[in-house]
């Protein structure tokens, strides 16, 4: 039979590596260290069409992840999608920054790309980005292509 001291030691080791595994999962796998709600600010953007954008999709500028999509709602007045982004507090963008919905790779996920403008005033929490470009929807693209082809055909006649 083990003494109580030995038992305590083993259980202590078990608890330590168990908690270590949880920390590993939180910090290395989930990367908890970045973009917790406390050190981020919210910016809104309105899009005509968000395509397949999902909550928690990355917000990138120049390819660097600067934030995450926090919330997606539908505006009943303008019939537009309102995307709320949580931007890391250490990143600042000028007031005339534009937002685009882009796709990473051919089958990749959709994300928001921010292109900074030249304004000297920076975006504050709660501000709305004016210049936006919607997601590319394949069906619309094909429709446009067919329409153009038909128009070309008409012009030749």
**Rule CB under 8 A: which residues touch another protein?**
2, 4, 7-8, 10-11, 13-15, 17-22, 24-26, 28-32, 54-56, 58, 65, 105, 107-108
Give min distance, CB of 25 to another protein, in A.
Answer: 5
Give min distance, CB of 7 to another protein, in A.
Answer: 5
Identity of the residue, 13 or 146, whose beta carbon is nearer to another protein in the bound complex = 13
Identity of the residue, 50 or 123, whose beta carbon is nearer to another protein in the bound complex = 50
**The 110-115 sheet, strands edge to edge:** 128-129, 40-47, 80-88, 64-75, 58-61, 110-115, 98-103, 131-133
Give min distance, CB of 36 to another protein, in A.
Answer: 8
Q: Sign of the CA dihedral 63, 67, 73, 79?
A: negative
Give min distance, CB of 146 to another protein, in A.
Answer: 28
Identity of the residue, 28 or 130, whose beta carbon is nearer to another protein in the bound complex = 28
Q: How far apart are CA 74 and CA 57, in angstroms?
A: 17
**What's the first-to-final CA gap in the chain, in angstroms?**
99
Identity of the residue, 55 or 89, whose beta carbon is nearer to another protein in the bound complex = 55
Number of Cβ within a 10 Å radius of residue 81: 21
Give min distance, CB of 130 to another protein, in A.
Answer: 27
For residue 19, give both structure tokens: 């908690």
Q: Are 50 and 81 in contact (CB under 8 A)?
A: yes
Identity of the residue, 45 or 69, whose beta carbon is nearer to another protein in the bound complex = 69
């Amino acid at each position: 039979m083990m003494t109580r001291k030995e038992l305590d030691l083993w259980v202590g080791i078990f608890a330590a590596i168990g908690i270590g595994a949880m920390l590993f999962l939180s910090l290395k796998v989930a990367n908890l260290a970045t973009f917790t709600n406390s050190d981020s600010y919210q910016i809104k953007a309105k899009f005509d069409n968000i395509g397949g954008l999902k909550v928690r999709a990355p917000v990138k500028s120049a390819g660097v992840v600067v934030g995450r999509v926090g919330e997606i709602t539908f505006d009943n007045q303008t019939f537009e999608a309102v995307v709320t982004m949580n931007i890391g507090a250490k990143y600042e963008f000028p007031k005339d920054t534009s937002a685009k919905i882009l796709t990473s790779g051919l089958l990749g996920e959709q994300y928001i790309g921010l292109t900074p403008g030249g304004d000297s005033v920076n975006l504050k929490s709660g501000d709305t980005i004016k210049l936006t470009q919607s997601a590319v929807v394949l069906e619309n693209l094909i429709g446009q292509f067919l329409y153009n082809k038909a128009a070309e055909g008409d012009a030749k006649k």
